[in-house]
Amino acid sequence: MPVITRSAARASKMDAKTTITNHTSKQQNNLQANNSTTTKPKSKDPFPMEQPRRLVEWISLKDPPSGVIPNGDNLFAILQDICKLQACIFIARGRPRELSGIEWLIIEWRSSRHREEFLTSELFLKLNEALSHRSWSQEFAWPRGGKIISANPIFPPQRLYEVLTIYFPADLDQEAISSIEAFRGLPYWHFEDDEGPAENPWAAFKSQLRAWIEGTCEYQGQTARRLAFFIAFTDEAGERLYKEKAINKVPGRPTGDVMVNFFNELEDLGMIGYESLHVKFLEVVHYAPEDYVPQPPRPISPETMKRLDEDRRRAYEDDDSDGSL
């Protein structure tokens, strides 16, 4: 189950916060039917920009009766070939710990046009054939910002991702949408290079990116649209420390418990509920053998760490609130 913290306890007062089990059952039921073809996004980017937006293809695979799909399955060989395409930014695999018997495949395309071109290829036919023997479902999402998952097997350590789905009423007006787009999410605060989560809970929080999930769904008897946050923590212990002990000090943001402030701001923006799932992703890559064993990362010099941290802090402070995280 999701980490329970003093922040989450307060948030659980909303009816929508108690639906993890219902969401699990619904998602698994949706996977009972075998889809024989992959689909196109049903609409254009709901929040178009001048530059083409990246497109995330989000596939949920149900485990076959024989158990977890083995790494040597032809499906994953095909995914490795897709990774070689210019159109594909990355593919990641992960098993949400709150969903039994489900594996996610996250494919990030450079744009919807690039994916449409892929649909005309022989490689797509191979993927379609491999999926035709599985129980699966598919959704699309439009990321705000850069690469939503960083889980390359050659660059450990593997992060814990909280995939936090925020539900909003489907009939939001443009002013409300603009306010949601301008929401920065969880704050970032500088910490010393040699500090870990035990010394400073802020060190457990690594990154966050978000994506609007296409279309609407029924949620608590209400038609809703969804915004997914992909939040990376060091590990389970780091997530717990961050949620229990991080106190916001970022100028211009509310002072106090970061998670309480986070959900308070989302409620003010119209949130009707949320669901939290946790995944350790691993990218599918074509250049590492299946039996590859990652080597411990080489230490980064204090000067480089300081420069990277300063760049990150400056990027946050210079955010022009255009919706990008």
Cα gap 117→109, rounded to integer Å: 11
pLDDT at 195: 75
Mean pLDDT value across residues 213-237: 96
pLDDT at 288: 63
Q: H or E segment at 109? A: strand 102-109
pLDDT reading at 27 higher than 60: no
One-letter amino acid of 311: D
Shortest CA distance to 106 belongs to which of 286, 294, 280, 232? 280
Q: Are residues 263 and 172 in the same domain?
A: yes
Residue 170 lies in a domain: yes
pTM for the full model? 0.76
Give the pLDDT confidence of 129-186 residue by residue, as tens digits: 999 989 999 999 999 877 889 888 877 678 999 999 999 999 999 999 999 999 989 9
Residue 312 lies in a domain: no
Q: Are residues 165 and 258 in the same domain?
A: yes
Give CA separation, 43 vs 46, 56, 58, 88, 184, in Å. 8, 14, 16, 20, 26
Q: Are residues 139 and 284 in the same domain?
A: yes
Q: Are residues 135 and 284 in the same domain?
A: yes
Number of domains in the chain: 2
**CB-CB neighbours of 102 under 10 Å:** 21
Residue 294 lies in a domain: no
Residue 256 lies in a domain: yes
Rg (CA), the chain: 20
Q: Are residues 74 and 170 in the same domain?
A: no
Q: Are residues 170 and 241 in the same domain?
A: yes
Q: Are residues 93 and 207 in the same domain?
A: no
Residue 127's CATH number: 3.30.70.100
Q: Are residues 8 and 59 in the same domain?
A: no
Q: Check: CB of residue 186 under 8 Å from CB of residue 208.
A: yes
**Going by C-beta distance under 8 Å and a sequence separation of 6 or more, which residues neighbour residue 89?**
54, 108, 109, 110, 147
Domain that holds residue 62: 31-39+51-153+280-288
